[in-house]
A = this chain, B = another copy of it.
Amino acid sequence: MSSASRNGSTKKTYSFLGPIGTFTELALAQVAEAKGAIAHPVSHVQDAIDDVIAGRAFRAIIPVENSVEGGVTATSDALAANPNIRIYGEYLVPVKFDLVARPGVALTDVRVVATHPVAYAQTRAWLSANIKKHTYLQSTSTAAAAADLLDTDGDHSIADAAVAASTITKHYKLKVLAKNIGDNKNAQTRFLQIGLAKGAAPKATGKDKTSVIVELPNDRPGALLEMLEQFAARGVNLSRIESRPIGDQLGRYRFNIDIEGHVEDAAVAEALKGLHRFSPKVIFLGSYPRADKKKSVHQGNNTNAAFAAAEKWIAKL
């Protein structure tokens, strides 16, 4: 039992990229099965994965993509490097930043603002407009920036305020000076639930996504186009494609790909088999329910029923 090894109880452990009070915790809160489980914050994506591999955690929640920052390369690469890991779910968390301070501090008092660089980049427009002469103090996370405000240890933060996730006040006695100050009100981060590749995989729901990693054969031009035609020939839509270096030399890439549909969809299964023949290396990362709950549709006449009819036709010949 992953949980027993940690705390002697029978509760399951979910590791997540911490510290508490960051957006990953909000993603974890969306995992219905994790209600009542142990939430274990870690400092790095790889630590979360290591917890899963070593059995210290049942599952891990890690960010994979942000609508402003793009892919989380640590996650993309860790998925490529750890063959026994599968994706069990995805979660979307709106990125809402608040400006928080110690009780008694007013907006007009603020001179120094602490936060994580990514958060600063996404709130700079508001800060520049509303606290014109502020100084920026870099923190290792938005939660740390907030926590440091309350550090009573003599040498507490010199910051007057912090930019943090809007849930930060659940954890710290801080006052919100301004709500939702992000430049992009639609900003979102997408998280994955990962676990060991054993036991029951998520069933097809008709609203699924499948993730794979594909290396391109490097002996011919047009290989990326050929790879995409493996999907197109079966009407399978891509929702995301991210190139990452294979690492052995400049100019060789693999692609982390999310597609619409479940590996139990005949169209997806055939496309994956096509990739398997085409590519020197394909890693299957799992099929799981879409966070946006939209129906996954295969272009053209590529439903399971159409596949079954074609199968029947060829069998008769």
Q: Which residues of A contact B (CB under 8 A)?
A: 65-71, 73, 77, 92, 184, 186, 188, 190, 201, 221-222, 224-225, 228-230, 232-234, 237-245, 247-251, 253, 263, 269-270, 272-274, 276-278, 282, 284, 299-302, 306-307, 309-311, 313-314, 317
| Residues on the B chain within 8 Å of A274, using CB | 233-234, 310
Contact of A224 among B71, B241, B249, B253 (CB under 8 A): B241
Q: Which residues of B contact A65 (CB under 8 A)?
A: 245, 250
The reply to whether B70 and A311 form a contact with Cβ atoms under 8 Å apart is: no
**Is A278 within 8 A of B263, CB to CB?**
no
Contact of A228 with B230 in the complex, beta carbons under 8 Å: no
Contacting pair B251 A239 (CB below 8 A): yes
Dominant secondary structure at the A interface:
mixed
* Contact call B230/A276, Cβ cutoff below 8 A: no
Q: A249-B67, A311-B273, A313-B276 are in contact. Are A228 and B224 (CB under 8 A)?
A: yes
Task: Choose from B92, B253, B300 the contact partner of A250 (Cβ within 8 Å).
Answer: B92
Collect the chain B residues with CB atoms within 8 Å of residue A70's CB.
Answer: 73, 77, 243-245
**Judging by beta carbons under 8 Å apart, are B278 and A248 in contact?**
no
Q: Tell me the bound Cα distance from A263 to B251 in angstroms.
A: 21
Docked complex Cα distance between A77 and B71 (Å): 13
Contact assessment for A284 and B250 in the assembled complex, using a CB-CB cutoff below 8 Å: no
Q: A263's closest neighbor in chain B, by CB?
A: B317
Distance, CA A73 to CA B232, complexed state (A): 29
Given pairs A69-B73, A184-B248, A240-B251, 6 additional interface contacts (CB within 8 A): A67-B250, A68-B245, A229-B229, A229-B232, A273-B314, A277-B310
